[in-house]
Amino acid sequence: MISRWKVIMTDSRESAFAEGKFSLKYIKGNITKAKKETLGIMVFDTKRNAEAFLHCSIYCRGQKIIRVLPIGKGKRPKYIAENCSALGIQRFYNPLKVIFGGVPPNGTICYSAVRVMD
């Protein structure tokens, strides 16, 4: 199984950029499942891509990278919003480019579930 890399909050082990009911918890050894109304759990194909994303984020303080194993077939979104909390989850995974949208960070893949390894 190919490892993927996920950025989470260091203390809470929750999603780094999703809030409220869309914020997921990542506990070592557990399987975390994406919410039905999303494209999935956003991960990176390489640790280097996860590190590049983390270092370019203005919100990187208090975040870390963990290793996960993907479950299901991955999807590579064409566009995502740059700030989930500002636009709402429906626009975060918009299939069409929106005014505040942008291309996903390099190596972004979304999965329906992941097994947390770290």
> For 52-77, what is the mean pLDDT?
85
- Pick the range with the lowest mean pLDDT from 4-8, 37-41, 44-48, 55-59: 55-59
> For 83-95, what is the mean pLDDT?
48
pTM: 0.79
CA distances for 47 relative to 68, 90, 97, angstroms: 11, 28, 27
> What is the reported pLDDT for 97?
47
Domain ranges (residues) in the chain? 4-76+107-116
What six digits make up the tokens of 66? 């963990």
Q: How does pLDDT run across 12-52, given as a tens digit for each residue?
A: 999 887 777 778 999 999 999 998 878 889 999 999 999 98
> What is the reported pLDDT for 81?
62
> For 61-68, what is the mean pLDDT?
90
Q: What percent of the chain has pLDDT over 70?
A: 79
Lateral strand order in the sheet of 41-44: 31-33, 113-116, 63-71, 4-9, 41-44, 108-111
What six digits make up the tokens of 90? 């429906």
